[in-house]
Every structure is written in C-alpha cells, then in structure tokens.
Structure 1
Amino acid sequence: MTDSDVEEETDPDDAGAYVAELRAKREEKDEFFGSHPQSPIPPGEREAFDGLSYFDPDPAYRVEATLEVHDDPEPVPMETTAGNEVRYVRVVTFSFDLDDGNHELHGYRQRPDDDEEPIFVPFRDKTTGQETYRGGRYLEFHPEGAVGNSDTAVLDFNLAYTPFCAFSEAFECPLPPEENWVETAVPAGERDR
C-alpha cells in the first residue's frame, strides 16, 4: 500500500479520519524502514532507527490542482544524486494555489503512454536543505485512467517523501529539475532526519 492510498480510503471532508489514516501509514512506513530487508536504512543502522521525522499532518496542504495534459510530451533530462542523467517526459502540469500564490508543478513519466505508471512529481521548496532533504522530495500521483485538460486532482503534500538516496549512497535518485522548484515553503510530509 502506498501513501497515495490514504486519500483513496478516507473521506477527504473528514479531517480526523484523514489524519488518523495518515498517522497509521506513517507508522507502517517506519516499521518497514526499521526492519525490512529492502529498507534504504543500512542494515547496521536499523536497530537504532526510531522512525522518520514528519511535519504534523495539515489538511491545508492537500490542494486541488487543475491539470494541463501535454499531448506531445517533451523530454526532460534530470540529474541524479550520482551525477548521471535520467530522461523523463513532462506529461502534465498541475496548477494550484498555496500560501496566497499560484504555483505550478510538472508531472513526469518515463513511459508517457503507460497509464499504469504513476506520475512522478519531484520538487524543491523553501524547506529544501533547511528542514527537508537537500536533494528535494517526491510526490506520486496515481490517476484512475487517462487524465484530461481542466480535470482536477488533489496534490497532497502531507504525502511528500524523501527519496531513498537520502538514507544510503547505494541508491541513485533523480533531482527535481529547476522547473519544479516551488517559491514557497511547504512544511508538510517528511522532514530531514
């Protein structure tokens, strides 16, 4: 079960249920990180691991975004933490209001025609390198089928997560391109440990 399942299982208008479900998913993730063989926490550090650090859940950081679908997706090269480059294509732009301003984030796929592949939304914000991982954080958007222009979707920054490369150099992670640098602080989701 992924973090995005939180919004699928709870009534978005029931803040108490949403927060309880989010906290339960965070506990589940902490257990995985602390004990699972596929955890990004190095084996020698798992016994001392006492959980990830999170911002308090805040429904204000569940924002409704308008979608602009890119019919002819442009390739976007992304540097990785290992100094390599990976290629994604920009498939959708999310436009949303946050902190009295309008912002945009782009969503990417490696296979643009694969509606089963989640849309990858890497981003940096004013907390990056201060309160959150210096390489940025990620969101995943799981649309039900194809998306169209003017459709709306919820971007839930409470589900923003730190990439595995923050925990171990064994992982190589894409860095958010400059077009996905948000000019405001987003104190939601995972914090730097």
Structure 2
Amino acid sequence: MTDDNADAADADSGVDPDDEWVSQLREMRAEKDEFFASDPQSPLDPAHSDGFDGLDYFDPNPAYRVEADVTVHDDLETTELTVRNGTAERFHEVATLSFTVPTADGDAVEETLSALRAEGSRALFLPFRDKTTGQQTYDGGRYMDLHPKGDLADVDAVTLDFNLAYTPFCAFSDAFACPLPPTENWLDVAVPAGERTPDLE
C-alpha cells in the first residue's frame, strides 16, 4: 500500500494519518515488509520471495488498542501447547489479562487472555484466536508479544495493541514450528486488526 493509499484508508476509517501512533505503526510495518523481502532470515519460501510486495494488514484502528488489567498468578502453572510442524512446547502461565474489546455492531465485550512465558524469557507471549481466524487471518491463530517494564507483579495494567498482532512464521514455511493458541485464548469476538492471512500466490 502506498503512502497516499494508506493516508486515504486512514481518513476513511476516521484515523488521523499524522497521529504519532499511526506513523510508528506504518514505519514498523514497512520495516517488517523489508525484512521479509530481503533479509536472509526471512521466513518466506524462495518460491514466493520474487513476487512479494508486502504483508497484508488491517487498517490501523485505535479501538483495538486497549488497556488490560493484569492479574499475576501466585503459583506458576506449566502448560504444554500443541505445535504445528513440531513437538509440544512448555510455557509458564504467569498472568491473566482482562480487557474490553469492541464488536462489529458497536457494542463491547469483556475478554481475557492467558499471558505465557517461555523458560528463560522476560517477554509475555500471547497466542490467540478470534472470529477472524481461518477467515481473514491465519487458521493457526496469531501472536502478540509484550515486554512489560519492571516486575509484572508491580504492574496494574498493560496496553494490548491488536494492531501489532502478527502471523507466526510457520504460515510462510514448513521449516518453522509454531505453538497453537490454548483454548482459553480463543476470543469470542472478531478482532479485525493486525496482520491478515498471508497472500503467497
């Protein structure tokens, strides 16, 4: 999408294209597209790289940038996630994130996501499915990563930006394995934000 087309799409959706958040999001998407197109570590199969002209994204939408209350688990439980193209992987269930997300008819619903952490990692891993999964987005679900500052126990809330939701690498190549979202992270609402189903034709 060209800058002019992006600005027009933002105007149609009521988003100010000059907003700093929108500008940063556009820049991050451009950098990721460049990585996919030219970096040796790109997950793209060489058969698809020549015709690649960027990932497909939903238009930026601040309505899907929500504040989530954080409930840290006193006792860390371990969960095993089924992995596409690989073996099961273990994660610690470290917190539950509670938030409100808009619906297509203008209402809002309360949802939760289990925040996971791999052994030795500080980042929170949020694999999820929603009502776009298998329709407008990858059928294996999408991911978000959070990097809270300081001790998570000292954090009351975090920002969940579904505009940053991304497709796991296994959607682009069988050489990659990706954990599938646990059932507690299956949302009952469509989240039309972030990356769409990859177009690899």
Contact 1:78–1:85 (CA under 8 A) maintained in structure 2: yes
Alpha-carbon distance change, 70 to 21 in structure 1, aligned in 2, over 3 angstroms: same
- Paired with 1:83 and 1:21, the residues of 2 have a C-alpha distance of 34
> Structure 1, unaligned stretches of length 5 or more?
1-13
Aligned residue for 1:72? 75
Taking the TM superposition and a 5 Å limit, the aligned residue runs for 1:115-154 are: 117-148=122-153, 151-154=156-159
Aligned residue for 2:96? 93
- Paired with 1:150 and 1:31, the residues of 2 have a C-alpha distance of 34
Deviation at 1:82, TM superposition (A): 1.9
Aligned residue for 2:185? 180
In the TM superposition, structure 1's runs of 4+ consecutive aligned residues that sit over 6 Å from their partners are: none
Counterpart of 1:27 in 2: which secondary structure? Answer: helix
Contact 2:76–2:93 (CA under 8 A) maintained in structure 1: yes
- Paired with 2:31 and 2:86, the residues of 1 have a C-alpha distance of 32
Of residues 104, 110, 119 in structure 1, which corresponds to 2:118? 110
> Structure 2, unaligned stretches of length 5 or more?
1-16, 103-107
Aligned residue for 2:4? none
Counterpart of 1:89 in 2: which secondary structure? Answer: strand
Aligned residue for 1:22? 25
Alpha-carbon distance change, 170 to 125 in structure 1, aligned in 2, over 3 angstroms: same
- Paired with 2:23 and 2:47, the residues of 1 have a C-alpha distance of 31
Contact 1:62–1:156 (CA under 8 A) maintained in structure 2: yes
Alignment of 1:189 onto 2:194: yes
- Paired with 1:110 and 1:167, the residues of 2 have a C-alpha distance of 23
Identity %: 54
Larger radius of gyration: 2
TM-score (ref. length: structure 1):
0.88
Deviation at 1:43, TM superposition (A): 2.1
CA shift digits 1:14-66 (9 cap, x unpaired)? 97111111011101100100110000001232121110000000011000000
Structure 2 counterpart of 1:101, one-letter code: V
Deviation at 1:148, TM superposition (A): 2.0
Alignment of 1:50 onto 2:53: yes
Of residues 99-108 and 125-134 in structure 1, the stretch that sits farther from structure 2 once superposed is 99-108
- Paired with 1:16 and 1:162, the residues of 2 have a C-alpha distance of 25
Counterpart of 2:187 in 1: which secondary structure? Answer: coil
- Paired with 2:173 and 2:122, the residues of 1 have a C-alpha distance of 25
CA shift digits 1:152-175 (9 cap, x unpaired)? 110000000000000000000000
Aligned residue for 1:9? none
- Number of aligned pairs? 177
Taking the TM superposition and a 5 Å limit, the aligned residue runs for 1:26-37 are: 26-37=29-40
Of residues 174, 177, 190 in structure 2, which corresponds to 1:169? 174
Structure 1 counterpart of 2:182, one-letter code: P
- Paired with 1:15 and 1:91, the residues of 2 have a C-alpha distance of 37
